[in-house]
């Protein structure tokens, strides 16, 4: 998945504010928002089937469809039509971004914040950005109809990216201590050291639904195996990486892939039990562990994720 480039750092948002393409909408901005439709549950795609020989319908699985958000907003710059026209142009450029609009894996990012929450984001497409009237544009007022559609999955994600770097020596010490067996790379005994006090593989999803991490294994390493101790899901690669090489695995819906050095597809090197689409971090705290063969002791695993939420 690729997202629209942002040449400047994304602005901090206050409660009741939204941002797309670098333009901030909502309370205290030049683009006040009157109403937002679609913040409840997304539309469902029911898999019901009619009973062939009797009345009624057999219920199937209810999947979520895209989440469509509709903003009733307006550009409000009293006495300054030039500023209003500039804001309108910036919003139009946000929709027109080729990286997000013309590529199948391109996405816009909608950011928002409600009271009591941190800033959250959604990935999708800006499908509509229309000035519904220009009758009062000369006075600095341009009403807008904006539509954003959340694609791939309708979840909101924490705006701040969480990361974890785990070396093989750390992983070995954590797993072996937890299982009560000696480790090859164990530190010297310390009277004040307790296994539960130090868990380098801990990851925390602060949201209320599972989230999909990105993982990168840096060589030199052979046959890396990664698992989550809570979900018992595993990713196992039957390959070798030289020093300076890496494999990156993406687990987000619609973007599941495994690439060596960012170009070579190595998905066929995954074991049958390795399901990228099912490798998630559950809500709360869980633990990532990994094993591999690395005579140099310099291999490392990098994990990146955003906490996932059902609501803004």
> Is residue 212's pLDDT more than 90?
yes
User: Which residues, other chains included, contact 181 with Cβ-Cβ below 8 Å and sequence gap of 6+?
Assistant: none
> In whole angstroms, how large is the CA radius of gyration of the chain?
24
For residue 15, the Cα-to-chain-centroid distance in whole angstroms is 21
pLDDT confidence band for 125 (50 / 70 / 90): very high
Under a CB-based contact definition with an 8 Å cutoff, are residues 26 and 18 in contact? yes
- Between residues 181 and 110, the one the model is more confident about: 110
- Where along the chain do its domains lie? 2-44+60-156, 162-186+195-309
285's tokens:
């705290």
* Longest distance between any two alpha carbons in the chain, whole Å: 78
Q: What is the mean pLDDT of the chain?
A: 87
Residue-wise pLDDT tens digits, 295-310: 888 899 999 999 999 9
Say what the pLDDT of residue 8 is: 57
> Is residue 42's pLDDT more than 70?
yes
Say what the pLDDT of residue 105 is: 79
User: Which residues, other chains included, contact 299 with Cβ-Cβ below 8 Å and sequence gap of 6+?
Assistant: 167, 168, 217, 218, 219, 220, 221, 224, 241, 292
The percent of residues above 70 in pLDDT, for the chain, comes to 88
Say what the pLDDT of residue 102 is: 86
**Ordered DSSP codes for 184-231:** TTPPPP-TT--GGG--TTEEEE-SSB-B--EEEEESSEEEEEEEETTT
User: Which residues, other chains included, contact 135 with Cβ-Cβ below 8 Å and sequence gap of 6+?
Assistant: none
- Please state, in angstroms and as integers, the Cα–Cα distance from residue 10 to each residue in 1, 19, 113, 270, following that order: 19, 8, 13, 37
Under a CB-based contact definition with an 8 Å cutoff, are residues 301 and 246 in contact? no
Say what the pLDDT of residue 117 is: 95
Say what the pLDDT of residue 2 is: 64
Q: What is the pTM of this model?
A: 0.85
Q: How many helices (H) does the chain have, and how many strands (E)? A: 3, 25
Domains 2-44+60-156 and 162-186+195-309 share a fold: no
Residue-wise pLDDT tens digits, 71-98: 999 999 999 999 999 999 999 999 988 8
Say what the pLDDT of residue 152 is: 82
Say what the pLDDT of residue 172 is: 52
DSSP-derived letter for residue 31 is S
> Is residue 20's pLDDT more than 70?
yes
**CATH of segment(s) 2-44+60-156:** 2.40.30.200
pLDDT confidence band for 207 (50 / 70 / 90): very high
Which of 52-61, 181-190, 196-205, 209-218 reaches the highest mean pLDDT? 209-218
**Does the 162-186+195-309 domain belong in CATH 2.60.120.860?**
yes
- Between residues 188 and 203, the one the model is more confident about: 203
Name which of 53-62, 114-123, 278-287 the model is least confident about: 53-62
Residue-wise pLDDT tens digits, 137-195: 999 999 999 999 998 888 999 999 999 999 986 555 544 444 444 444 444 444 444 44
CA–CA separation, 233 and 290 (whole Å): 12
Average pLDDT on 217-234 reads 93
Of 211, 282, 219, 202, the residue nearest 251 (C-alpha): 211
Say what the pLDDT of residue 15 is: 96
Say what the pLDDT of residue 184 is: 45
- What are 97's strand-pairing partners? none
175's tokens:
């797993």
Say what the pLDDT of residue 133 is: 92
Say what the pLDDT of residue 199 is: 74
Say what the pLDDT of residue 190 is: 47
- Between residues 282 and 42, the one the model is more confident about: 282
Average pLDDT on 217-243 reads 93
Terminal CA-CA length for the chain:
22
- Please state, in angstroms and as integers, the Cα–Cα distance from residue 75 to each residue in 8, 33, 181, 257, following that order: 22, 9, 65, 41
61's tokens:
């699985």
Length of the chain: 312
Of 135, 148, 48, the residue nearest 84 (C-alpha): 135
């Amino acid at each position: 998945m690729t997202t629209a480039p942002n040449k400047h750092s994304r602005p901090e948002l206050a409660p009741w504010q939204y941002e797309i393409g670098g333009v901030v909408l909502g309370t205290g901005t030049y683009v006040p928002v009157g109403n937002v439709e679609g913040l409840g549950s997304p539309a469902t795609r029911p898999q019901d089937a009619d009973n062939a020989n009797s009345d009624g319908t057999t219920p199937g699985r209810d999947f979520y469809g895209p989440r469509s958000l509709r903003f009733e907003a307006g550009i409000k710059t009293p006495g300054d039509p030039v500023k209003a026209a500039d804001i309108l142009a910036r919003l139009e450029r946000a929709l027109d971004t080729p990286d997000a609009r013309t590529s199948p894996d391109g996405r816009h990012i909608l950011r928002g914040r409600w009271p009591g929450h941190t800033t959250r984001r959604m990935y999708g497409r800006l499908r509509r950005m229309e000035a519904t009237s220009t009758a009062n544009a000369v006075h600095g007022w341009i009403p807008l109809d904006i539509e954003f559609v959340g694609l791939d999955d309708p979840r909101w994600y924490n705006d701040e990216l969480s990361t974890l770097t785990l070396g093989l020596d750390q992983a070995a010490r954590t797993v072996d201590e937890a299982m009560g067996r000696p480790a090859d790379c164990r530190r010297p005994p310390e009277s004040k050291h307790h296994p539960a006090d130090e868990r380098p593989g801990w990851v925390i999803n602060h949201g209320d639904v599972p989230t999909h991490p990105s993982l990168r294994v840096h060589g030199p390493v052979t046959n890396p195996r990664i698992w989550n101790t809570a979900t018992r899901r595993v990713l196992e690669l039957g390959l070798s990486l030289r020093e300076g090489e890496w494999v990156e695995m993406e687990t987000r819906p619609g973007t599941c892939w495994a690439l060596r050095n960012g170009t070579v597809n190595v998905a066929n090197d995954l074991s049958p039990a390795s399901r990228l689409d099912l490798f998630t971090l559950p809500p709360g705290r869980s633990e990532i562990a990994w094993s591999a063969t690395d005579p140099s002791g310099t291999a490392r695993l990098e994990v990146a994720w955003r906490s996932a939420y059902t609501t803004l």
